[in-house]
């Protein structure tokens, strides 16, 4: 049984606290999967675990329905993802006002609960030029512990064609209190479709 399946089947721990209430005490002994899940959800991300591509498609349709995006445009630069949009008749070419970005990612970073994107997913666009809503498709094999691990895997994966515009998205809801940790960050409403591939 997948660690994600085990994790999502238990909604609370023995003390009656929900996961993420006191992350500093929970970090010791957590696997990369568990740490990412706790941090990602604490940052406001919406997590949809998928065992196969059929579940990815079903959850994607649920997201479209929940947000009433069936009649809206999407931003997407990756041909491998076009079929998800085409199957749902979502325009994604020469769009004027896309409601969401559909993209894969380079890695999922456990220590921050963040999603690392590059020019492969967002081209040259700055965060404020992207839609407020993201739907990210990733696999469990893309989970890494730290940002350094992620940069190392990118270097190995691309060898000579190293991507540019590498940035980590960490905050997925507007902060209730503005503090220096959030200064300059652009919060995105983010859904993660995570496919089990390990």
| CA pair distance 126, 146, nearest whole angstrom | 23
Torsion of CA 26, 28, 29, 34, to 10 degrees: 50
Q: What is the per-residue pLDDT for 9?
A: 47
Cα(113)–Cα(110) distance, integer angstroms? 5
- pLDDT-derived band at 18 (thresholds 50, 70, 90) equals very low
35 half-sphere exposure, CB direction, 13 A CA radius: 18
> Is residue 192 within 8 Å of 115, Cβ to Cβ?
yes
Alpha-carbon 32 to chain mean position: 15
CA distance 198 to 195: 9
Tens digits of residue pLDDT in 147-192: 999 999 999 999 888 999 999 999 998 755 555 444 445 789 999 9
Q: How many CB atoms lie within 10 A of CB 191?
A: 22
Confidence of residue 93 (pLDDT cuts 50, 70, 90): very high
Q: How far apart are CA 133 and CA 191, in angstroms?
A: 8
Partner residues linked to 114 by β-bridges: 109
The single residue listed with the structure tokens 């940069």 is 151
pLDDT digits (tens, 9 = 90+) for 32-85: 999 999 999 999 999 999 999 999 999 999 999 999 999 899 999 999 999 999
């Amino acid at each position: 049984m997948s660690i994600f399946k085990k994790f999502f089947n238990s909604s609370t721990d023995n003390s009656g606290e929900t996961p993420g209430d006191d992350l500093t005490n929970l970090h010791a002994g957590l696997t990369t999967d568990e740490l990412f899940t706790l941090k990602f959800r604490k940052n406001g991300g919406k997590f949809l675990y998928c065992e196969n591509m059929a579940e990815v498609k079903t959850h994607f349709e649920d997201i479209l329905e929940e947000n009433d995006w069936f009649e809206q445009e999407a931003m997407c630069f990756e041909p491998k993802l076009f079929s998800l949009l085409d199957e749902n008749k979502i325009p994604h070419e020469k769009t004027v006002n896309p409601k969401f970005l559909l993209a894969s990612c380079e890695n999922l970073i456990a220590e921050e609960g963040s999603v690392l994107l590059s020019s492969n997913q967002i081209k040259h666009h700055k965060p404020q030029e992207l839609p407020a809503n993201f739907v990210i498709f990733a696999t469990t094999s893309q989970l890494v512990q730290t940002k350094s691990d992620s940069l190392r895997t990118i270097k190995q994966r691309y060898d000579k064609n190293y991507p540019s515009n590498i940035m980590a998205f960490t905050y997925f809801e507007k902060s209730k209190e503005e503090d220096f940790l959030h200064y300059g960050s652009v919060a995105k409403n983010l859904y993660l479709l995570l496919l089990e591939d390990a």
